[in-house]
Chains A and B, each alone.
Chain A
Amino acid sequence: MTEREHLPLPQGAEIAVIGGGPAGAFFSIYAMRLAKDMGKKVRLTIFDRKTFTHQGPAGCNMCAGVVSESMVQSLAIDGINLPPSIVQRSVDSYCFHSSSGEVYIRSPYTRQRGIATTYRGGGPKGSEKTGIQSFDEFLMERAAKEGAILDRQVVDEIQLNGYKPRLCSGKKFVMEADLLVGAFGVNALTAKKFEDLGFGYTAPDTIRATQAEMPLGKDWVSEHFGNAIHVFLLNLPGVKFAAITPKGEYATISLLGKDVNQETVKAFLSHPLVQKMLPTNWKLPERFCHCFPKINVGAACKPYGHRIVIVGDAASTRLYKDGIGSAYVTGKAAAQVVSLYGIGEGDFLRHYSTVCKEINRDNLVGRFLFGANDFICGLPSLSKGYFRTLQQEQKDPSLGTPHSDMLWDMFTGSRSYRDILFQAISPRSQYTMVRGVLGALSESFNLFSTALGKG
């Protein structure tokens, strides 16, 4: 077997991680832990020029900052408990708003505040006095505690022509790494550098998203948004997903779609269903903290090479959801492969590519589910029936809550899209759905008949 096929991580290995976001931090935490377990000494350096304690986009990795229920639990099992200084608001429910009504759905599993909303950086611009602590910084500190070294140099040149990946910064040699880990996300130019290395990596397809911070004040946010993430199924042109996440003094708007921009944010805010949650005549300030990050909607091609592995959303992520969760899954999986199998191209092909492929395959089912959800919400009668079913389930959970559970799992990432699909096509789910739709149709018919009678 050649070195390319299988190469165990050597004793005293130099590992270079490009990017200090959650993917880089998770890889580092677990790689250091496993190396220690296996009695291996490694020197792991995380390269990131960003300081996550800064306010605004300069210190932020630009995402909604929602840590899913399943990830909060997985982290707790691994001994990583999120302190209240990191969690801006712990969440126990999702509230779905549509023209057919609104429905609160609580966690079907534990009935607790199990979802964490965080800021990736030091908080929105102008939030200096609120004492917000960064989620990314917290993870970096955990990685440092495990023994990782943080280097603020910008690695602007990577060479693969030698025996090992060679890293340079400003024409100066930085290190020769036994293993190079790409955790650069989809918003950095670094992806191009990795594509140019010629080992076959192609960055995933992306679409634009918007994150905008509404400074509504803690009292307003608590009273009107509570402990719920609010999802708006509004069929706005060009918008695939719209949500408002409560976070301390602010509420974060997240819009996902084709060519979303400031106008899209204004159109969303002027929708009557959104307006009713805001103070009367409230308008976004002239200058507000916002960004237009890219979101991964496809799969990267070959996120590994000989002595190279790509983690996080630069590799694969759950469709539209849970980028932090994917950073955890891929970062941890890569760390396990590196420690238990090796750093050869064959090691990653056999043991790491399968993890990414699993996410990618599941996303195909996810596309279908989101399409079906859009279709249902686009047809008034169907949408009304759907919401009626959800409302009835929440009113009397003792009769079972299959549709609520499916929606919860779809939006929180608690189960794979494949599992959700199997649940959706079960006879029981179909029966309750048909019953709800027929109820809504009969209601519409009665209203129509009454109107005709009056006429």
Chain B
Amino acid sequence: MGEEGLLGKVYNDGEIIVQEGSAGREMYVIQSGKVQVSKSMGSTVIVLATLGEGEVFGEMSLIDSQPRSATVRALGETRVLTIDHEAFLRRVRSDPFLALSILRQMGLRIRELDHSLSITLGKLEEVQRGLPQISKSPEQAQRDLRSKISQVQQDLNRLKEKLGSV
């Protein structure tokens, strides 16, 4: 079955689906293709995550009314199903379990974040413990420290990605 069976709306490569800072109360479910989640930090743009088919974004906007926290753009031709905020609220009135589905997804992401955060903090602690060793064997300690800092840096980047996808 071809394109005619795909639900949602088509976005072309690079097209913005959600703009950071803009108002919006919809949630999105990716039907085909991929999207890139990015965030502006001053003059630099940090890529936080790449999401694919079946994954959702913007689910927090169905619940709160804060401006969008990141920009989401299509990576190649992408089809995305929009979940309308007003219709969602109407449906939740008769089926509260729909809200539970959203909460479950948010809960999963928070758990993942908790897990990542605890690992990263653990590694930071290791770095701190390693600092007194520098005076004993400066060269070896420097190498160890460099490797640990690089690990922590990678973990922090991964954590940022996960935060972005929330």
Alpha-carbon distance A110/B81, docked complex (angstroms): 9
Taking a contact as CB atoms under 8 Å apart, the answer to whether B97 and A73 are in contact is no
The smallest C-beta distance from B158 to any residue of chain A, in angstroms, reads 24
Alpha-carbon distance A88/B29, docked complex (angstroms): 19
Alpha-carbon distance A199/B88, docked complex (angstroms): 37
Contact string, B121-155, partner A, CB cutoff 8 A, digits 1/0?
Answer: 00000000000000000000000000000000000
Contacts A90-B4, A109-B86 given; does A73 touch B101 at CB 8 Å = no
Contacts A73-B84, A76-B81 given; does A84 touch B5 at CB 8 Å = yes
**Among the listed stretches B6-14, B36-44, B69-77, which one makes contact with chain A, having 4 or more residues with CB under 8 Å of it?**
B6-14
Contact string, A327-362, partner B, CB cutoff 8 A, digits 1/0?
Answer: 001001100100000000000000000010010000
Within 8 A of B (CB), among A44-83: 69-70, 72-74, 76-79, 81-83
Within 8 A of A (CB), among B58-113: 81-84, 86-88, 90-91, 94-95, 97-98, 101-102
Closest residue of chain B to A78 (Cβ to Cβ) is B101
12 new A-B contacts at CB < 8 Å, known A73-B81, A76-B83, A84-B3: A69-B87, A72-B7, A74-B95, A77-B83, A87-B6, A89-B5, A90-B6, A90-B8, A111-B9, A114-B7, A336-B97, A358-B94
Listed by A's residue number, 20 A-B pairs whose Cβ atoms lie within 8 Å are A30-B97, A72-B7, A73-B81, A77-B83, A77-B98, A77-B102, A81-B31, A81-B54, A81-B81, A84-B3, A85-B1, A85-B5, A87-B1, A87-B6, A89-B4, A90-B4, A109-B84, A114-B8, A329-B95, A336-B97
Contact string, A401-440, partner B, CB cutoff 8 A, digits 1/0?
Answer: 0000000000000110000000000000000000000000
Taking a contact as CB atoms under 8 Å apart, the answer to whether B91 and A70 are in contact is yes
Residues of chain A lying within 8 A (CB to CB) of residue B9: 110-113
Residues of chain B lying within 8 A (CB to CB) of residue A415: 90
Does A257 make an interface contact (CB < 8 A)? no
Taking a contact as CB atoms under 8 Å apart, the answer to whether A113 and B54 are in contact is no
Does A122 make an interface contact (CB < 8 A)? no
The smallest C-beta distance from A354 to any residue of chain B, in angstroms, reads 10
Contacts A70-B87, A109-B86, A248-B1 given; does A76 touch B6 at CB 8 Å = no
Alpha-carbon distance A131/B5, docked complex (angstroms): 13
Does A15 make an interface contact (CB < 8 A)? no
Closest residue of chain A to B3 (Cβ to Cβ) is A84
Does A183 make an interface contact (CB < 8 A)? no
Residues of chain B lying within 8 A (CB to CB) of residue A72: 7, 81
Taking a contact as CB atoms under 8 Å apart, the answer to whether A332 and B95 are in contact is yes
Does A209 make an interface contact (CB < 8 A)? no
Alpha-carbon distance A415/B27, docked complex (angstroms): 19
Contact string, A178-214, partner B, CB cutoff 8 A, digits 1/0?
Answer: 0000000000000000000000000000000000000
Residues of chain B lying within 8 A (CB to CB) of residue A333: 95
Residues of chain A lying within 8 A (CB to CB) of residue B26: 110
Does A116 make an interface contact (CB < 8 A)? yes
Does A86 make an interface contact (CB < 8 A)? yes
Within 8 A of B (CB), among A99-144: 109-114, 116, 131, 133
Majority secondary structure of chain B interface residues (helix, strand, loop or mixed): mixed
Does A222 make an interface contact (CB < 8 A)? yes
Taking a contact as CB atoms under 8 Å apart, the answer to whether B97 and A87 are in contact is no
B positions within 8 Å CB-CB of A: 1-9, 26-27, 29, 31-32, 54, 81-84, 86-88, 90-91, 94-95, 97-98, 101-102
Taking a contact as CB atoms under 8 Å apart, the answer to whether A112 and B98 are in contact is no
Within 8 A of B (CB), among A342-394: 355, 358
Alpha-carbon distance A109/B7, docked complex (angstroms): 15
Alpha-carbon distance A133/B90, docked complex (angstroms): 32
Residues of chain A lying within 8 A (CB to CB) of residue B27: 77
Residues of chain A lying within 8 A (CB to CB) of residue B88: 73, 77
Residues of chain A lying within 8 A (CB to CB) of residue B90: 415
Residues of chain A lying within 8 A (CB to CB) of residue B2: 84
Taking a contact as CB atoms under 8 Å apart, the answer to whether B6 and A84 are in contact is yes
Contacts A87-B1, A113-B8 given; does A81 touch B84 at CB 8 Å = no
The smallest C-beta distance from B11 to any residue of chain A, in angstroms, reads 11
The smallest C-beta distance from B7 to any residue of chain A, in angstroms, reads 5
Alpha-carbon distance A414/B86, docked complex (angstroms): 11
The smallest C-beta distance from B23 to any residue of chain A, in angstroms, reads 16
- In order of increasing CB-CB distance, the 10 nearest A-B pairs are A84-B5, A87-B5, A112-B9, A109-B84, A110-B82, A76-B29, A90-B7, A84-B1, A85-B1, A73-B83
Alpha-carbon distance A116/B86, docked complex (angstroms): 20
The smallest C-beta distance from A370 to any residue of chain B, in angstroms, reads 21
Taking a contact as CB atoms under 8 Å apart, the answer to whether B101 and A113 are in contact is no
Closest residue of chain A to B80 (Cβ to Cβ) is A112
Closest residue of chain B to A70 (Cβ to Cβ) is B87
Alpha-carbon distance A58/B137, docked complex (angstroms): 81
Residues of chain A lying within 8 A (CB to CB) of residue B102: 77
Closest residue of chain A to B96 (Cβ to Cβ) is A336
Residue among B4, B83, B86 having the largest count of chain A Cβ atoms under 10 Å:
B4
Residue among A87, A88, A336 having the largest count of chain B Cβ atoms under 10 Å:
A87
